[in-house]
Amino acid sequence: MDFFISLLVRFAYFIDSSKRYRRTKEFCRTFLEHPTSKLKFYFDLFMVVLVILSVLFLLYEVKTPELHPFMDFFINASLVIFVIEYLLRLWIYSDNHKIFLERYEYALDNRVTFSLFQTIRSIISKKLEYIFSPLAIIDLLAILPSYRPLRFLRIFLLFRIFKLFRYARSMKTFTTIISEKKFELFTLAIFAGFVIFTGSSAIYIFETNVNPKINTLFDAVYWSIVTMGTVGYGDIVPVTTEGMVISMLLIIFGVAILAFLTSIIVSSFQTKLVELKESRTLADIERLKNYILVCGYGRVGEVVAKMLHDDGYAVVIVDTDAGKIKLANQRGMIGILGDASKSKLLGQLGVGKRASKVICVTNSDEMNVFITLTARSLSKDVDIIARVVKSHHKKKYLLAGANFALSADETIGLMGLQYVDQPISYAALNEMLTENTGVVFESLKIHEKSYYVNQPLSVLKLQEKRLLLFGIVRQGIQPTDFLTYTIDDKIFYFNPPSDFLICQEDMLIIMGKKHHINILKKQSDKRPLK
């Protein structure tokens, strides 16, 4: 027995460490269950077509037992696919080797005897949990109508239609609504049951010997339900005055119950629709790569998001105000209603994976610091830029992990001083910061194959191009013969002379009109001089 257990343990460890096994299972999970996977979307679409066609062929078979060989083949092929799908779902539902190893390691750690029987029981009970889940039962029953020797199994054809619930999201929403409103619906059902029971009993008592159409209690119940539903087939009608009074009361109660039922479902639908929309938006975000997350859509958020969006960057906005999110959506941006300080939401949005930059621009320092910390706890690599509301809180942002913390008041302070001290310089500084006149500061990176590598600055002919070189940022040791400043780990050469040699990886900081800078950039991208 010990030898057998040891073999099983080895096998479990082998499975656990097998990359191929893990990859295959992960692929199947994505394929069958991942809500935002594209593969799942195509698979679901394929299954919906398969279910509808197979149901149509089986319905056709009811009156025409001799099917066309193609139809026959199709029904058999769909059966095979349904069986494979069922088995795959059963397989991915739980990891047997993990249950086995968990119990084995628990036994080792706590020095208790490992029970193989108990372990197998846990594994089977986990699988049974799936087998007896509603959707799995539908899956199983949907396979049965294809079993030709037992013709009565055709009734399970209905379950194949129910199988569509698994693939269509809107149908799932409907089942969710029903399950979420269980209590309300149950209460209403009890009340409706009570009305039906009372109505049926009353009509049975008053009319059973008078009305030839009401002979059994079943007839009475049938009449009650038809009357309550205000259908009125007319096959059974009351003939006594008492019966007529009962039918009038039943109609009134019936309308009231139907109205209640409708309102419960409609209100639930409305709530659910918002969630459904959100989940669709999340699916859209999942498809984005390297996007910028803007937390807070106030005035600062609006400015940043608009400029980035206009520049073609993928931007996602998170705000707790539904009105602001609506506005962002109207402006063609993706907006999510939610609290960006929640790790769950930022995790869902892929901070550090798909979202490469996070901008915290709410109007509260507490919130911005909290979002910064949350984003940093999710990823070490994500760039976090935060707006500091009260400048004395700036240090807290840096402690929380922000890469940059910007205080508007600090800038306002400097600009206010500049206005008093040197109003013309202020105008220049204001234009430089706001770029309202079209003059911008831009950086130009000298890549390996740039035309300018190893060329003196004079080659750039900046004056001709109406550009101004503010300086050059270069990685390296601080030289002594130039006016340089250390910025982070780089050296900034201020206003270098015309014979200054441009090197690969240099970053030129240029001022001028955008189209003039673009001309310089184009020239830089040409082949190097020989």
Partner 1 sequence: MKSKKILIFGFTKSAIEISTQLMAKGYDFTLIDNDASLIPTAEKLGFNLKILDYTDDVLLKEGIGENVNFIFTLFDDDAKNVFLILSVKALDPTLHVIAITHTKDTIHKLEIAGASTILDPYQISGKKIYKLITQPEVMNVIDATVFGYHDLNMEQITITKNSLLNQCMINDIYPNDAYNLLIVGIHDKELKKEFIFITEGFNHKLDTGDVLVVIGQTEEILRYKKDFNL
State which of positions 163-192 bind partner 1 (CB under 8 A): none
C-beta closer to partner 1: residue 2 or 311: 311
Q: Which residue has the tokens 């990891």?
A: 95
Q: For the CB of residue 33, give the shortest distance to partner 1 in the complex, in Å.
A: 36
Q: For the CB of residue 385, give the shortest distance to partner 1 in the complex, in Å.
A: 6
C-beta closer to partner 1: residue 243 or 471: 471
Does residue number 516 form part of the binding site for partner 1 (CB under 8 A)?
yes
Does residue number 393 form part of the binding site for partner 1 (CB under 8 A)?
no
Binder to partner 1 among 62, 190, 322, 414 (CB under 8 A)?
A: 414
Rounded Cα distance, 530 and 527, in Å: 9
Binder to partner 1 among 267, 498, 504, 518 (CB under 8 A)?
A: 498
Binder to partner 1 among 261, 415, 459, 519 (CB under 8 A)?
A: 415
**Cα dist. 305→284, 313, 359, 464 in Å?**
18, 9, 10, 35
Segment interacting with partner 1 (CB under 8 A) among 17-25, 266-274, 318-326, 441-449: 441-449
147 neighbors 153 (Cβ within 8 angstroms) = yes
Rounded Cα distance, 511 and 509, in Å: 7
Does residue number 458 form part of the binding site for partner 1 (CB under 8 A)?
no
Q: For the CB of residue 194, give the shortest distance to partner 1 in the complex, in Å.
A: 59
DSSP 258: H
From residue 213 to residue 252, the character string flagging contacts with partner 1 as x (rule: CB under 8 A) and all else as - is: ----------------------------------------
> Interface residues for partner 1 in 7-36 (CB under 8 A)?
none
> Interface residues for partner 1 in 361-380 (CB under 8 A)?
361
> Interface residues for partner 1 in 290-349 (CB under 8 A)?
292, 298-304, 307-308, 311, 313
> Interface residues for partner 1 in 261-300 (CB under 8 A)?
292, 298-300
Binder to partner 1 among 193, 323, 479, 497 (CB under 8 A)?
A: 497
List, in sequence order, the alpha helices (H) in 311-364.
322-330, 343-348
Q: For the CB of residue 428, give the shortest distance to partner 1 in the complex, in Å.
A: 5
Q: Which residue has the tokens 């279910």?
A: 51
Q: For 229-236, which contacts have Cβ atoms below 8 Å and span 24 or more sequence positions?
A: 229/254, 229/258, 230/254, 230/255, 230/258, 236/211
C-beta closer to partner 1: residue 377 or 418: 418
Binder to partner 1 among 443, 454, 475, 518 (CB under 8 A)?
A: 443
Rounded Cα distance, 225 and 125, in Å: 41
Backbone phi and psi for residue 320, each to the nearest 5 degrees, phi listed first: -90, -10
Segment interacting with partner 1 (CB under 8 A) among 216-224, 323-331, 400-408, 448-456: 400-408
3-state secondary structure labels for all residues of 423-489: HHHHHHHHHHHHCCCCEEEEEEECCCCCCCCCCEHHHHCCCCCCCEEEEEEECCCCCCCCCEEEECC
Q: Which helix (H) or strand (E) holds 406?
A: strand 404-407
Segment interacting with partner 1 (CB under 8 A) among 15-23, 85-93, 171-179, 357-365: 357-365
DSSP 236: S
